[in-house]
DNA sequence: TCCGAATGGTCCACAATTGGCTCAACGAGG
DNA sequence: CCTCGTTGAGCCAATTGTGGACCATTCGGA
């Protein structure tokens, strides 16, 4: 029956792939199952899949199944790969968007014990002797503010930003921008944020956080270029294209 | 028999670990017990645990048991896993933090051609016939605003939010909250945002975006609970129930 | 000190599932 | 009649799951 049944099945499969029907497991039903779904012989399904495989949208593995090709449309993994290479300027810009609002939310919604935990981290950072300890309590201070927002996703976003900042280039950057006066200033600014939080004054906490992040950014920007190439990698933002290309045609 | 049973068990175990089910004793049930819980062979449980051990979340000790790893530095992978389960309420809260500021940045820094691209997406969305096409242009509208911010990281963060919203539960949620009037209202609100952008008026673009997102949130919140179980997964900012055996026997 | 229960580590034979492949037959269209 | 897509069936090889058995280590009690 030369009525191009395989072609129709192929179209349908492509649509279903596009629609994200199998994005979770990245695995299609097996060929026998699909044959039943379409009321068609298994060979017909196979020839339909053959064509999709041949242009790379699907991958077949004997004994395992048929899977969505890995890097077709961006999935979480591929986005995360790009995340880890973010430039410090971009990171600080995003922090200045997210963290002041997080501080405001924490002031409005955080429980007493959550804010207490923030205060404790501030105290530990203030009294830290060694600079590694200070760094950890500094991070903890910011992290606990996010915890007080009661928004899991927001916490995860902050965690991603923190992970980006725990990479090699960042560590070097922080080391070079470190000084005792700056550390003292950070403590003062943390105190201002904390004061806003404890007073439940969202606006005050928010603007104190913004001021703090501006200080941090200035300090990072003051670091002389590490090397010409490193400089490019560090500071270039997405500056180029007059005509930006959009993904996902 | 390759039906990815080990994978399902692995996911379930990861969720149960995240949920803190074993935080008290820091110890998991033994492998034979888990095999009974899930109704699978012990070897299957073992291969599931293998994968969790290999990225450091669990530690096995012969003759003693399987334990939560105490000094676990969460990596990108594990954060991403948590991201994908974010609740709609949390997602909207984060969008309302990020997107208005992105609109402001786009108004301030976007090139003429980038803003033109935003306008084009708005036009296409307005004239879209089919609702799937509208959805795509709607997403494209928001995405192009981020492109105009010239901040790669910010784009990636938005891409993550978009990926979260492209999952099954979200699709169902959007489908149920859809109506023609709402779509028209979205178009009007998009127009207001676009007007702010084209006037290079950061404040106006920002507040128009916030208003728009508030509308979206209201519409999502108006959706009646899908089902008791789906409702839990949708709206709780937290985790799965301690799920028992899911297989036969 | 010694024993035994509990627990993870390893291995095996077997079954079940899945994609890869072939073949004979059918039927519509030329 | 011939061609070509389709059908239905069967078998193969690869992979995974099953149900064991046995070992090594740990730990508490006899």
The closest alpha carbon to A165, from A217, A215, A113, belongs to A217
CA→C1' distance for B43 and C6 (Å): 18
Kind of pairing, strands B65-68 and A65-68? Answer: unpaired
**Cα distances (Å, whole numbers) of residue B243 to A168, B15, B247:** 40, 10, 11
Instruction: Tell whether the model's pLDDT for residue A108 goes beyond 80.
Output: yes
Kindly report, residue by residue over B124-151, the tens digit of the pLDDT.
999 998 888 999 999 999 999 999 999 9
- Whether the pTM exceeds 0.85: the reply is no
Q: Which of A225, A222, A245, A242 is nearest to A233 (CA)?
A: A225
Nearest-10 crossing angle of helices B228-235, B88-109: 40
What six digits make up the tokens of B64? 């003693």
Q: Is B101 on the interface with A (CB under 8 A)?
A: yes
| pLDDT for residue A70 is more than 60 | yes
Interchain CB contact of B155 with A (< 8 Å): yes
- How confident is the model at residue B19, as a pLDDT? 85
Asked if residue B35 has pLDDT above 50, the reply is yes
Residue of A nearest to B99 (CA): A97
Give the percent of chain A with pLDDT over 90: 67
CA of B1 to C1' of C15 (A): 8
Q: Are strands B65-68 and B58-61 parallel, antiparallel or unpaired?
A: antiparallel
CA distance B153 to A90: 6
Rounded to the nearest angstrom, the minimum Cα separation between B118 and chain A is 11
Mean pLDDT value across residues A118-131: 94
Tokens of B145: 């605003």
- If DSSP states are collapsed to H, E and C, what string results for A91-106? HHHHHHHHHHHHHHHH
The verdict on A33 touching B (C-beta cutoff 8 Å) is no
* pLDDT higher than threshold 80 for residue B246: no
- State residue B17's pLDDT score: 92
> Which of the two residues, B248 and A52, has the higher pLDDT score?
A52
CA of B66 to C1' of D7 (A): 53
Do residues B148 and B115 lie in contact, with contact meaning Cβ atoms separated by under 8 Å? yes
Q: Quick one: which of A185, A178, A74 has its CA closest to A135?
A: A178
CA A70/CA B181 separation, integer angstroms = 38
Coil/strand/helix, residue B85: coil
pLDDT in tens, B40-80: 999 999 999 999 999 889 999 999 999 999 766 667 777 87
Least confident range of A128-137, B34-43, B106-115, B207-216: A128-137
**Cβ contacts (< 8 Å) between B140 and chain A: which residues?**
246
Cβ-7 Å neighbors of strand D: A 1-7, 40-44, 47, 61-64; B 1-7, 40-44, 47, 61-64, 247
What is the helix (H) or strand (E) element at residue B61, kind and residue range? strand B58-61
Q: pLDDT of B153-184, one tens digit each?
A: 999 999 999 988 887 678 788 888 888 999 99
Could you say which nucleotides of strand C lie within 7 A of any protein CB atom?
A: 5-12, 15-23, 27-29
- CA A41: distance to chain centroid? 45
Which of the pair, A233 or B128, is modelled with greater confidence? B128
**Whole-number pLDDT of residue B169:** 77
- Taking the C-alpha atoms of residue B48 and residue B67, their distance in angstroms, rounded to an integer, is 14
**Cβ-based neighbours of B19, under 8 Å, separated by 6 or more:** B238, B239, B240, B242
């Amino acid at each position: 029956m030369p009525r191009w049944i395989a072609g129709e099945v192929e179209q349908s499969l492509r649509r279903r792939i596009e629609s994200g029907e199998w994005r979770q497991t990245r695995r299609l039903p097996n060929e026998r199952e699909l044959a039943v779904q379409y009321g068609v012989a298994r060979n017909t399904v196979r020839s339909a899949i053959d064509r999709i495989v041949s242009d790379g949208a699907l991958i077949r593995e004997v004994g395992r199944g048929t899977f969505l090709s890995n890097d077709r449309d961006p999935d979480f993994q591929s986005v995360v790969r790009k995340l880890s290479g973010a430039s410090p300027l971009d990171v600080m810009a995003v922090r200045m968007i997210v963290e002041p609002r997080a501080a405001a939310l924490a002031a409005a919604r955080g429980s007493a014990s959550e804010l207490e935990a923030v205060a404790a981290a501030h105290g530990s950072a203030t009294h830290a002797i060694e600079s590694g300890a200070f760094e950890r309590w500094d991070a903890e201070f910011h992290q606990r503010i996010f915890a007080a927002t009661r928004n899991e996703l927001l916490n995860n976003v902050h965690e991603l930003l923190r992970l980006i900042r725990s990479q090699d280039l960042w560590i070097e950057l922080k080391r070079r921008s470190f000084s005792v006066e700056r550390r003292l200033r950070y403590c003062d600014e943390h105190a201002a944020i904390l004061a806003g939080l404890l007073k439940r004054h969202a606006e005050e906490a928010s603007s104190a956080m913004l001021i703090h992040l501006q200080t941090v950014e200035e300090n990072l920007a003051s670091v002389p270029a590490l090397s010409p190439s490193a400089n490019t990698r560090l500071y270039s933002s997405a500056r180029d294209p007059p005509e930006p290309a959009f993904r996902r045609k």
